[in-house]
Amino acid sequence: MKNYLNLILAVAFFAGISACKKSEEILVPSDIDVTYKVPQGNNAFDQTILNYYNTYGTYLLYNFTERDAYWTPTGWKKPVVSATGTWSVGADILAAQPDGIQAQLDLIDKSLFSLYPKNFLKRFLPVKLLLCSKVDSVFTTYVFNPTYSPAKGVKKIPAYFSYDNIAVNYGDGSASTLSAAEKLAFLARINQVFFQSINDRSLIKPTTEFINSADYISVNTSQAAAFSKGIIGAYTSISATIDWNAYVMAMVTLSEADLNRSVANSNTSAVGILNATKDTNGLIKKRYNIVRNYFINTYQVDLQLIGNKSRGM
């Protein structure tokens, strides 16, 4: 009887777990509807959205709820103010305006979709792209009135990642009027956020070759010491995964010119990591090539070309 009851409990447990799109599992309360449907309307751009879904399996939503934007398994992520007046980090967003969506879709296509093979996007795009008329980064700032006290800080940003979605800005009609510099900033940000989403979901892990090419056991007393070992992640929190992600983000967000610039090795940013000033033993260049070639050979994606493009090269 005990074995029989254990079998029933086991079946019930596994039946309660639903597999999420793109190798994730999402557990949600049973009374929440997480079904997304496209098209959401009968506008001309709805067919474009449907085509994107059929191609990549990702929902581009302009009608969405706060649950779609802010729910995660570890808690609600909408920025809130504390009893002391400080704000939690996050983003305030508003849904796109219908007359601004077509230009926004064109911007997303040129700045993101067109840069990758179809299979890469199908595998690694998050479940949802939220089409927004506002995406504001929220943080705590301080004002003097009459003493320094915390206040809500707000900064407009092109895109923001949260768990299973990327909120994309400029669905307010402004996508078609962005300057060349603003378009580059959008391209840089949305690709940075895309790879942040990949890294945070642990979808691409460091290779054995990469792990074995650096000493992650010895303690580093400075960033310069870490650079000398080919480690570019923060020297205070060393791991192969953190380091791999740092290499990926360096390529996606910086040009080859940026990476080869001479910068003091006390500078902790990725700028100059391929120059001998930081790469004193040539190990960063070696490991940079391991990561870059892995993406080229495995996914036909040259990360550095994206970084170059984000800098107008």
3-state secondary structure (DSSP) of residue 141:
strand
What are 41-63's pLDDT values in tens digits? 999 999 999 999 999 999 999 99
Domain identity same for 109 and 184: yes
Domain identity same for 99 and 151: yes
pTM given for the model: 0.86
Q: What is the pLDDT of residue 56?
A: 97
Phi and psi torsions of 187, nearest 5°: -60, -45
Q: 238-241 long-range CB contacts below 8 Å, 24 or more apart? A: 240/206, 240/210, 240/211, 240/214, 240/216, 241/202, 241/205, 241/206
CA distance 49 to 106: 11
Domain identity same for 89 and 222: no
Question: Is the residue at 14 inside a domain?
Answer: no
| pLDDT interval class at 22 (50, 70, 90) | low
Q: Mean pLDDT in the chain?
A: 90
| Structural domain of 273 | 208-310
What are 88-133's pLDDT values in tens digits? 999 999 999 999 999 999 999 999 999 999 999 999 999 999 999 9
Domain identity same for 85 and 62: yes
Domain identity same for 176 and 244: no
Number of domains in the chain: 2
